[in-house]
Amino acid sequence: MDFNYLTLIIFLPVAGAIVISLVPGLSSKLIRYIASLFTFIPLAISIFLFIAFDRSTSVAGTIQFEELSPWISAINANYHLGVDGLSLPLVLLTTLIGFLVVLISWKINTRVREYFAWLLLLETSILGVFCSLDLLLFFIFWEIEVIPMYFLISIWGAGRKEYSAIKYVVYTLFGSALMLAGILSLYFTTGSLSIIDMTHSGSAMVQSLMPAAPIFFMLLAGFAIKLPVFPLHTWLPDAHTDAPTAGSVVLAGTLIKMGGYGMIRVCVGIFPQVAQDYAQLLLALAVINIVYGAAVTLRQTDLKRLIAYSSISHMGFVLLGIFALGELSMVGAGLQMFSHGIVTGLLFAVTGLVMHNTGERNIGKLGGLAKQIPFIAVIFTIGGLASMGVPGTSGFIAEVTVFIGAFSSNIVDGVNVYTIISMLGILLAAAYILWLLRGVFFNHPLEKFNGTADADRLEKTYCAIFVAAILVIGMYPMILTDVIRTGITPIANLLGG
Amino acid sequence: MNLEPILPELTLAITTIVVILLDLFIQKKVWLTVISLAGIAVATGFAVTLWGENPQTIFNNLLVIDNFAVFFKILLLVIVALVLLASRDYVSKLRRFQGEYHALVLLAAIGMMLMAAGTDLISIFVSLELSAIAFYALVGFLKDDRSTEASLKFILLGGIASAVLLFGMALTFGFTGKTQLAEIAQVIQQMSPEVLLASSGLILGLVLMIAGFGFKIAAAPFQMWVPDVYEGAPTPVTLYLSVGSKIAGFAVILRVFFSAFGSPESLSQDWGLVFAVLSAIGMTLGNIIAIHQANIKRMLAYSSIAHSGYIMIGLAAVGLTPIGDFTGQSFILFYVIAFALADLAAFIAVIVISNKLNSDLIKDYAGIGKRAPVLAAVLTLSLISLIGLPPTAGFLAKFYIFTGAAGSGLLWLVIVAVINSVISVYYYLRVVKVMWLGEPMFEGKIPSSNATKFSLAICCSGILLLGIVPVVIMQIVETAASSLSF
């Protein structure tokens, strides 16, 4: 493991961004090819790492592909990278989506150079978050993401884009401000910034932290805003709706997963005891997320906004899985994050196609498009079925794992009550997805949409990749659960479950 | 007499005289800048040779040459050089008095460099006045209504501040019978803490000195002059005031309070808390008022008040930390460099842009991203560093300062500061938004001279370098900080 794979994965996209922004005279076409090259190589490397990853239970919890070198010795901060079973699938997801969004953005024609530069910088920062094992490094990558997203929404977005962009920035920075205070407090009570040390030194050290609960909540605030958790979710519908298609795909596909990842890695990993003490509160929030999120989704008439709201409900399942605190439930949460990434990524991508090709985003004004654009209709239907958790898709297996895991978890009292209420979310999901599909594709065909273009070859390609991923995980979930379990087991052991 | 330790200042003084005399004879005024820069380069060379030497005092212990002083001298020399480079585009518009402009800038620099080296209340006051008087003249240099008004305000308020400072120094002298910092410290340490804290004369002296120095560094509530003066002064002078004068002020405060009043702890905790409160007021006031500013120079003025607040968090932490730990001081020095780089880049970009637009209003900046993408990118980078987002110097600087404060039990202040940073995002990003999203209201490119391009390149690479590999600077800063004696 001498070769610095992770550094390469993280910094290749930003290298591409530098090439794109500094080399003069590149044509738009060349810029697109450069961007796809600089996102494809990280994807290839992360697939390689995924295959090379040691899945045996004997090494569960060990960090693999680790890189460690001193960085700022004055405060004991290191350049410390590494992946375990928890982060590796998310790295794979990020590089996959990172490559696909370049394809999705192929038709962007305004300010191409800046656009791809920001997109690539965004990918670097998200990858950095998933790979960092040092809290300062983690925080730096966490913060870098804000600026590219701000520009992507406010320049290439639609609707109230400037309002949504600044709302996103203010929410995120408010959360990360609290997170920074939490990190500093953690640093002063333990003298360390290493996530791994803090997790491994076990409950003894964490018990010794006198104000563990406030620190836990300061850190949680940052993650909760990102996930998002009710009532901190209001930035999400605006940002998702007004972002350009690729921006929504990255946001829903990978960015909000940083919140769930942080919760498991930092909040539960470092403060298992506090997490257990306050699990009831967070489970209650999870149920609200699921049911309230789904209920609000039902009332949406805007195609893109509907998908955005459905994310809130789906992220509630992640929260439920995490704070049920059982091993299986947390594996389910990890799986749900991956699954939601590809399913909602696909839904936003095809929503973008529908909106682009028809010029209409109001569900009431669309109808019967299945006749006019059959390919898009089929893909959208598959994505929708996966989103409502139909067996055979990744959505099913993820949600079922969360439910079984949460129901059988014996760490938190009364968790089965929360779980049963949460199942309402599936019912509501079926309602809004089927209503959406009927309204957009399976009503009476409207004449004005005759001659609407179906997906072209490039669009078919990326849709097919998404669908393949959804089905592979749906049919053979072991491919992921094996990996995720090796990352979750040590954290679950901290809880004695 | 051994003049070697003050060769940097002497070189600048000679350069000043040469510039004034040459101004009478030569027609191509660009040579004035060249000669000034050459003088600065030689002075920097002398200053660098002094780095790393053992501390030595000169002129009957009026000045000390230690790493701390040398550090600030080099930093100030670099700043002066960048200011003069940035002034090129600006002073070419001033038909007359170019020689005086350069001479005054250099004189102010001499004053500030001596401030960093002063170990005696008298030498500190004299050098502070030397730089202040040069600044009064510089602020009024445009000779139009606004510039003159700004200058008059600055003189009146600056005069009051000097009087207050002097009164504070006089009280301290009356109480201790000494003017040398080291001797003051001896007298104070010999007294029992109870007697010390009960002596209202000394405490009043300290408070008045904080007020006097607070004026210099634009600390709230002594910041009234800042917006008007910053707006009215020629922009390079604003830049000089905002960076140079503030840095010299912090150098003096660090030395005076740490060397003379750093011990016993009961006393240092007292002034530490005063700085903590001033810092909270300064940050909040600066950031909230900055939101409403339509003029970018006024906005940067309030932002600079807020940044003084952030640096004072470091001072508070120094006061509350037990003696012998120099990390707090080195964090302040790091912040000072990071702030200087970002503020320099921002102001230089503003100089170039307003040269073309003849306006300092933020709304007129619309569409600069289309007309001059590089310039807009530079301004964006510097604003991001002022916000304190990674991977810029501003982020690590804030992180260090907050770390120091959290370690001294000032978590409440850190939370105030962190919330303030979020508030500040709003007005900094507003400029960014206008630049990149607005439609351009003017035609053609924005011309900038090679001098400004060069200085912008230095600042930007500095911002990124300090943000990504701070180790290089950290070592220098630690050496400088640890030479501060008490």
- Supply the pLDDT for residue B194: 80
The mean pLDDT of B30-52, rounded to a whole number, is 91
Confidence bin at A287 (pLDDT 50/70/90):
very high
Confidence bin at B240 (pLDDT 50/70/90):
very high
pLDDT above 90 for A494: no
- Select from A76, A110, A135, A147 the residue whose CB has the most chain B CBs within 10 Å, as the one to mutate to test that interface: A147
A-chain CB neighbours of B439 within 8 Å are none
B-chain CB neighbours of A141 within 8 Å are 390
Residue B238 tokens, joined: 């604003």
Residue B155 tokens, joined: 């003189």
pLDDT above 90 for A318: yes
- Supply the pLDDT for residue A137: 92
- The answer to whether A75 contacts B403, with C-beta atoms less than 8 Å apart, is yes
C-beta of residue B400 within 8 angstroms of C-beta of residue A162: no
Cα angle A149, A151, A157 (rounded to 5 degrees) comes to 90
Return the closest-CA partner of residue A181 out of B470, B319, B413. Answer: B413
- Supply the pLDDT for residue A336: 93
Query: What are the angstrom distances between the C-alpha of A24 and each of A19, A31, A105, A343, B464?
Result: 9, 11, 21, 38, 22
Instruction: Say what angle helices B265-291 and B296-320 make with each other, to 10 degrees.
Output: 160
pLDDT above 90 for B129: yes
> Which residues, at least 6 apart from B461, have a Cβ–Cβ distance to it below 8 Å?
none
Average pLDDT over chain B, rounded to whole?
88
- Supply the pLDDT for residue A270: 86
pLDDT above 60 for A484: yes
- The answer to whether B429 contacts A151, with C-beta atoms less than 8 Å apart, is no
Give the ipTM of the model, two decimals please: 0.80
Residue A455 has φ and ψ, to the nearest 5°, of -60, 140
Residue of A nearest to B420 (CA): A177
Give the whole-angstrom CA distance, residue A138 versus residue B93: 49
pLDDT above 60 for B159: yes
Give one word for B358, left, alpha or beta, with left for phi > 0 and alpha for psi -120 to 50. Answer: left
- Supply the pLDDT for residue B276: 92
Give the whole-angstrom CA distance, residue A146 versus residue A171: 10
Confidence bin at B485 (pLDDT 50/70/90):
low
A-chain CB neighbours of B407 within 8 Å are 188
- Supply the pLDDT for residue A201: 67
Q: Give one DSSP letter per residue of A405-422, joined into a string.
A: HHHH--SSTTHHHHHHHH
Residue A493 tokens, joined: 């052991």
pLDDT above 80 for A105: yes
Looking at the DSSP bridge assignments, the partners of residue B64 are B57
- Supply the pLDDT for residue B130: 93
CA atoms within 13 A on the CB side of A11: 7
Q: Roughly how many angstroms between the first and final C-alpha of chain B, as a whole number?
A: 27
Query: Of A319-323, B107-111, B238-242, B442-446, where does mean pLDDT reach its minimum?
Result: B442-446
Amino acid at A308: A
Confidence bin at A204 (pLDDT 50/70/90):
low
Handedness of CA B444, B363, A153, B378 (dihedral sign): positive
The mean pLDDT of A364-368, rounded to a whole number, is 83
Confidence bin at A208 (pLDDT 50/70/90):
low
Which run of H or of E encompasses A81? strand A77-83
Q: How far is A140 from chain B (nearest CA, A)?
A: 6
Write out pLDDT tens, residues B376-386. 999 999 999 99
Residue-range domain boundaries for chain B: 262-486
Write out pLDDT tens, residues B55-90. 888 888 888 888 999 999 999 999 999 999 888 877
Looking at the DSSP bridge assignments, the partners of residue A77 are A72
Give the whole-angstrom CA distance, residue A440 versus residue B473: 60
Confidence bin at B201 (pLDDT 50/70/90):
confident
- For chain A, percent of residues with pLDDT exceeding 90: 45
Looking at the DSSP bridge assignments, the partners of residue A194 are A134
pLDDT above 70 for A203: no
List helix spans (H) across A361-414: 369-372, 374-387, 394-408
- For chain B, percent of residues with pLDDT exceeding 70: 98
Give one word for A202, left, alpha or beta, with left for phi > 0 and alpha for psi -120 to 50. Answer: left
**Among B327, B425, B471, beta carbon nearest to A173:** B425
- Supply the pLDDT for residue B280: 93
pLDDT above 90 for B40: yes
Residue of A nearest to B427 (CA): A166
Q: How long, in residues, is chain A?
A: 497
- Select from A142, A180, A183, A215 the residue whose CB has the most chain B CBs within 10 Å, as the one to mutate to test that interface: A180
Write out pLDDT tens, residues A119-149. 999 999 999 999 999 999 999 999 999 989 9
C-beta of residue B51 within 8 angstroms of C-beta of residue B5: no
The mean pLDDT of A251-256, rounded to a whole number, is 90
pLDDT above 70 for B101: yes
Give the whole-angstrom CA distance, residue B318 versus residue B328: 5
A-chain CB neighbours of B390 within 8 Å are 139-141, 143-144
Give the whole-angstrom CA distance, residue B230 versus residue B86: 16
- Select from B422, B460, B469, B479 the residue whose CB has the most chain A CBs within 10 Å, as the one to mutate to test that interface: B422
- The answer to whether B390 contacts A143, with C-beta atoms less than 8 Å apart, is yes
pLDDT above 90 for A53: no
The mean pLDDT of B397-412, rounded to a whole number, is 87
C-beta of residue A107 within 8 angstroms of C-beta of residue A356: yes
C-beta of residue B79 within 8 angstroms of C-beta of residue B22: no
Amino acid at B276: A
Give the whole-angstrom CA distance, residue B268 versus residue B246: 22
Return contacts of A386-391, CB within 8 angstroms, 24+ apart.
Answer: A386/A339, A386/A343, A386/A346, A386/A470, A386/A474, A387/A310, A387/A314, A387/A343, A387/A344, A387/A347, A387/A429, A387/A433, A388/A426, A388/A429, A388/A430, A388/A433, A388/A434, A389/A426, A389/A429, A391/A474
The mean pLDDT of B318-323, rounded to a whole number, is 80
Which positions in chain A have a beta carbon within 8 angstroms of at least one beta carbon in chain B?
Answer: 71-75, 136, 139-141, 143-144, 146-147, 150-151, 154-155, 162, 166, 169-170, 173-174, 177-178, 180-181, 184-185, 187-188
B-chain CB neighbours of A184 within 8 Å are 402-403, 406, 411, 414
- Supply the pLDDT for residue B21: 92
Average pLDDT over chain A, rounded to whole?
88
pLDDT above 60 for A1: no
Confidence bin at A2 (pLDDT 50/70/90):
low
pLDDT above 80 for B294: yes
Which run of H or of E encompasses B239? helix B235-240
Residue-range domain boundaries for chain A: 278-497
Confidence bin at A282 (pLDDT 50/70/90):
very high
B-chain CB neighbours of A73 within 8 Å are 471
Is the backbone peptide bond immediately before B264 cis, with ω within 30 degrees of 0?
yes
pTM: 0.87
Looking at the DSSP bridge assignments, the partners of residue A104 are none
Residue of A nearest to B438 (CA): A155
